[in-house]
Structure 1
């Protein structure tokens, strides 16, 4: 169950799935013919944590050809699934990828047509949710990227206090938490079993109640002290995923990079490990009070890695550089000043093209920005990074409300629709972003970034 894929270097794919029992040697059979899976890879990674109800199995499938259809059969499965490997760096063929941030469980344990007390923005009867929309349109994108806030399993306490879920004891809260977690990953398998699912850390991965929930009826404010050991310090997130840090010199599932065609993708960690004396939000004493991390071997590890990674990009082969991190620092609403302090200097220094964020549950497209100042070129060959926040994918908490006055750098914003981002790299010079309404697939906002440059790209035969 919970079958999921992740890119793992130029010629690899990480295949992960969950079982109720531990496997002594997880294996994956694979090949280019579903009736002749003539290769098999093994691992010794079948891991769990104290409150988990399942084991996470991870197998690295290597020596694959780029942009090739493969079939695979994980141990315990009965029917092969399929995936297509990533496009080689320098491949100039146009392609599309999807981004959904702040996407949580749908249905009876999450976002549905009803809400409990204190919540809002339920789905309309019969409305297509974001997971269903991504499933419907998955043939049109190469992979899915979710930079943080994955399942919202920590909403279990809020849902119970609001009367949405039946009350349970605090001691048994982990059972509800794990059920919601498993529900989400099972729902996502319709996409993640066929498309690589790249993820990053968000605040809802750090803790089981996101820093405190208040039961007004009983005048009780819960803190992170109610969290079970398996649900703190990103424990579930660390166990469940295997992102391509070994191939990119990053750290676990927290910061890493990968190439796909003409784009270099960078996942940063906006929750911990800022270094240079900057206190990150989820670290002990940070603004989020999540008491998580840090995870680096030394204080400046993430920033040093980011500079080295950006410095090493071959812009002739991967002219586009896109960075994603959970928290935004440019937005008409709550921002993350420490994130700006930690990351923006390097993004400017190395000419990053686009920055994608979430955290606020709405959609807001900004102009290219340099230290708070709009690049006068706007999207016509700017020097500064272009910023887009899309945290409107949907979960039990619903949507946030935009302030009455938007920032001067805001170019489009909406807070009434659930949706996701679809991005298309057309060529060396043009990249388009679309905001797709989950309910009907309509495009509510579109904009294209132009960069004037020459590249040395290849165009392999189909």
Structure 2
């Protein structure tokens, strides 16, 4: 028994001596992406799933434009179109641009679609790829994305992964009350978020409500800018929802949602 104990101590000591200390990389510069010169051009374009075979296209313009998306499976040959809604919000002295949401479909799985936001024929063309209907599917999961040089590095790795869908469970823009950073964030992620569905939910950086006075309402910017398929899944809040993709049932549950303890089962 004594020999065994000695052996374990030696083995454990060997493990300890082989561990190298972790050196935290220094912070990188904070990014801010300026707006486009054309006030009617779509920017901050991102897509998300909306039901089994539909996709939601969201974008922002400074000017009021028709909330319409033209789309098809060939570049510049749009044989379908859909109309949606436009909204905006205020945050103290800040007033958002026009936030447009349009649901397109039904769409074929694992298919590239080309689309144009708004009715201006000179608007840029975007493309998206719908998720597959069955396995295999490649999901990317990231969190605390923010807007720094490290964000750019992370997005580059994501782009190289040839993924089908991105899941982001909270802490998107790190705007933390400064609303123009939400706009900057939308421009930063647009090259990826306009091509694959980004399914997101909230973290503490999305709360943005002043303590005591509780104004503005919590999650005002997040709810206005990143509308997820909560109604399609039977949820009553954009902060939690679920959806099916390629045989996987995904539950997105924000950690800052109020809950009723009386609903917790005894065995829970």
TM-score when normalising by structure 1: 0.45
C-alpha distance in 1, partners of 2:55/2:123?
20
C-alpha contact (below 8 Å) 2:61/2:99 kept by paired residues: yes
Structural RMSD (CA): 2.6
2:201 pairs with 1:200: yes
CA distance in 2, matches of 1:49, 1:60: 24
Note the C-alpha offset of 1:251: 2.8
Give the equivalent residue in structure 2 for 1:40. 81
Paired residues of 2:88 and 2:95 also in contact (CA < 8 A) = no
Segment drifting more, 58-67 vs 245-254: 245-254
1:151 paired with 2:173, answer yes
Match of 1:272 in 2: 257
Larger Rg belongs to: 2
Task: Using the TM superposition, give the Cα deviation of residue 180 of structure 1 relative to its aligned residue in structure 2, in angstroms.
Answer: 1.5
Secondary structure, aligned partner of 1:35 = coil
Count of aligned residue pairs for this structure pair: 222
SS at match of 2:181: helix
Per-residue deviation, 1:203: 1.2
Structure 2 spans left out of the alignment, 5+ residues: 1-42
Task: State the secondary structure of the residue aligned to 2:228.
Answer: coil
Find the residue that maps to 1:9 and give its secondary structure.
coil
Alpha-carbon distance, 1:131 to partner? 2.5
Tell me the equivalent position of 1:256: 241
- Checking the alignment, whether the CA contact within 8 Å between 2:88 and 2:98 is kept in structure 1 is yes
CA spacing shift, 1:33–1:201, aligned 2, 3 Å = same
1:56 corresponds to: 99
Give the match for residue 183 of structure 1: 184
Distance 1:19-1:225 versus aligned 2 partners, 3 A rule? farther
CA distance in 2 between partners of 1:61 and 1:205 (Å): 27
Equivalent residue, structure 1, for 2:46 = 4
Q: Conserved in 1, the CA contact under 8 Å of 2:46 and 2:59? A: yes
Within 1, Cα distance between the matches of 2:183 and 2:164?
Answer: 24
Deviation of 1:101 (Å)? 0.8
In the alignment, structure 1 residue 14 sits paired with structure 2 residue 85:
no
Please give the per-residue CA displacement for 1:214-262, whole angstroms capped at 9, x wherever unaligned. Answer: xxxxxxxxx6469863xx4100011002211222112342111111113
Matching residue of 1:133: 157
Match of 1:99 among 131, 141, 154: 141
Any idea what the Cα deviations from partners look like across 1:403-429, whole Å, max 9, x if unmatched? xxxxxxxxxxxxxxxxxxxxxxxxxxx
Q: Does 1:82 align with 2:127?
A: yes
TM-score relative to the length of structure 2: 0.74
- 1-structure distance, mates of 2:89, 2:64: 8
Q: CA deviation at 1:45?
A: 2.8
Report the alpha carbon displacement of residue 79 of structure 1 after superposing the two structures with TM: 2.2
Q: Structure 1 206/39 Cα, relative in aligned 2: closer, same or farther at 3 Å?
A: same
Quote the offset at 1:34 in angstroms: 1.2
Pair 1:142 & 2:185 matched: no
CA displacement 1:247-299 (0-9 Å, x = unmatched): 2112342111111113110111210222125xxxxxxxxxxxxxxxxxxxxxx
Match of 2:22 in 1: none
8 Å CA contact retained: 2:54, 2:107: yes
On the 8 A contact 1:22/1:46 being kept in 2, the answer is no
Deviations 1:7-42 (A, max 9, x none): 01111000000111233x400000111121011100
